[in-house]
Structure 1
Amino acid sequence: MILQDVFKKNTENTRQYIYRVLRENIMNLNLKPGEAIREIELSGILNVSRTPLREAIVQLIEEKLLEVFPQRGSFVSKINLNLVEEAVFVRELCEIKIIKMACQKENIEELINKLEKNIEYQKIVLNFNQDLHEFFILDNEFHYLIFDYFNKKYSWKAIKRLSTHYDRLRLLDALEKTNIKITLEQHIKIVELIKSKNIKKLENHIEKHLLNYRDVIKKYELKYPEYFCNK
């Protein structure tokens, strides 16, 4: 097991440190869905005792990112397609609402400028074939910018906590380079529709945008069957 970003921040206690490192490595797919988590090995890698490690593991179990099986041990949760659908359901409702707010508000040049700047960075990542983790981060930032503009940062945070399985699937999709160009084109279209205040087309476009993965989910289930479950 090789973990990324194992430095400890000055503001973190030991449990927070362990939780952050494990969660980040799960969410960036460095720790794969279904991968075993061995406490003794983790204690050695992170140089921590077993008590805060177990506390962090319990927190990740509550967030459905780790699972424990008797006599077998702890494992990274597989991508649960039911949880993916639930996250999309909530996110679609919230995103359509926030997009309507953008269309109904006058003088949103500041937001448009931020969105278009984000899109230019997305183009750079794709044109130079850089780390597609970076494209995924920019994709998330694109949507966050709208929530932030309307002072709904905590709503976005709640969405992200519910979207851990959906986001791992989205990252897998980005790394496979299946929908990244489509995603970029859809972001450009979203900005155009906000400018034109075409709410009806935006609703349909947001739904299509959030459901890109459905067109390729069978491909991923065949390629990575060990990553997925339905319950």
Structure 2
Amino acid sequence: MNIKNLDRNSNENIRQYAYRVLKENIMNLNLEPGEAIGENELSKLLNVSRTPLREAIVQLIEDKLLDVFPQRGTFVSKINLNLVEEAIFLRELCEKELFKIACNDENAKDLIIELEKNIEYQKIIINFNEDLHNFFDLDNEFHTIIFKKYNKLNTWKAIKKLSTHYDRLRLIDALEKTNLENTLKQHMEIIEKIKSKNIEKIDKLIEKHLLNFKDVIEIYQKKYPTYFDI
């Protein structure tokens, strides 16, 4: 198993530590969709006892990130396109309304500054060919900034909880460099729509932005056939 970032945070108990490390490695694709997870090996790697490890595994099963098959074992869940569609549905509903709020906000200057700062970091990663995991993180941060601005962080957390399959697919898309330029361009367009208060065009732009990967999903399914729950 390819598990990274094993350092434990000072404020974590053992279950929280095991859960965070496993989830991060699943979401970063270090633990690949469909990969078998052995409790004995994990217990040794993380240096934790079986009880808190099993509690973490139960939580990851509830998150739909692990699947247990009787007589076979525990596996990282494959990407389920139905769950991807559910996440898109919720994000689209919430983000369209939130961006409309931003367009109507007469005091959106601070928001625009934060978003533009985020954009500059995105440009650096693309221009200097840096780690695309960082680009993916900045993409998430771009949206987090807006939810935070309008006191909707709990809504964003709920969206992220439902988006574990969608986010892994988005990460594949980022690492494949298929839509990097499109994503950056659309982020810049979103800022321009907020500046110009162009509510009429924000819906279509958000819809397009959330579905960047859709035209190439079959390519990913062929390239990574073991990653998808078909």
Please indicate, yes or no, whether the TM-score normalized by the shorter chain is above 0.5: yes
SS of the equivalent of 2:111 reads: helix
Distance 2:220 2:146 in 1: 30
* 1:113-128 → structure 2 map (5 Å cutoff): 113-128=113-128
Residue 153 of structure 2: aligned partner: 153
1:163 and 2:153 matched: no
| Superposition deviation, residue 201 in structure 1 | 0.7
% identical equivalent positions: 69
Residue type at the aligned position of 1:72: R
Give the equivalent residue in structure 1 for 2:21: 21
3-state SS in 2 of match to 1:74: strand
| Equivalent position SS for 2:9 | coil
CA distance in 1 between partners of 2:166 and 2:140 (Å): 12
Residues 64-83 of structure 1 aligned to structure 2 (within 5 Å): 64-83=64-83
Q: Equivalences for 1:120-199 in 2 at 5 Å?
A: 120-199=120-199
CA distance in 1, matches of 2:123, 2:85: 29
1:38 corresponds to which letter in structure 2?
A: G
- CA distance, structure 1, for counterparts of residue 143 and residue 164 of structure 2: 16
* Alignment-mate amino acid for residue 78 of structure 2: K
State the partner residue of 2:4.
4
Q: Deviations over 1:87-124 (max 9, x none)?
A: 00000000001001001110211000000010000000
Task: Write out the 4+ residue segments of structure 1 that deviate beyond 4 Å after TM superposition.
Answer: none
User: What SS does the corresponding residue of 1:68 show, helix, strand or coil?
Assistant: strand
Counterpart AA for 1:59: Q
Letter in 2 for 1:6: L
Partner of 2:74, secondary structure, is strand
Deviation at 1:224, TM superposition (A): 0.5
Letter in 1 for 2:210: L
SS state at 1:79 partner: coil
Paired letter, 1:49: S
Indicate the SS of the match to 2:15. Answer: helix
Which secondary structure does the structure 1 equivalent of 2:166 belong to?
helix
Give 1:2 shift. 2.6
What corresponds to 1:99 in structure 2? 99
CA distance in 2, matches of 1:61, 1:118: 33
Q: Does 1:33 align with 2:33?
A: yes
Give, in whole Å, the separation in 2 of the partners of 1:140 and 1:218: 24
The CA deviation string for residues 161-214 of structure 1, in whole angstroms up to 9 with x for no partner, is 010000000000000000011100000011011111111211100000000111
Deviations 1:58-99 (Å, cap 9, x if unpaired)?
A: 110011000000111000000000000000000000000100
- d(CA) in 2 for partners of 1:2, 1:118: 30
TM-score (ref. length: structure 2): 0.99
- Which residue of structure 1 lines up, in the alignment, with residue 225 of structure 2? 225
Distance 2:25 2:139 in 1: 19
CA shift, 1:43, in A, is 0.7
- What's the C-alpha RMSD, in Å, of the aligned pairs? 0.7
SS in 1 for 2:75: strand
Distance 2:107 2:70 in 1: 58
| Unmatched segments (≥5 aa) in structure 2 | none
The aligned counterpart of 1:206 is: 206
Distance 2:215 2:149 in 1: 31
Amino acid at match of 1:81: L
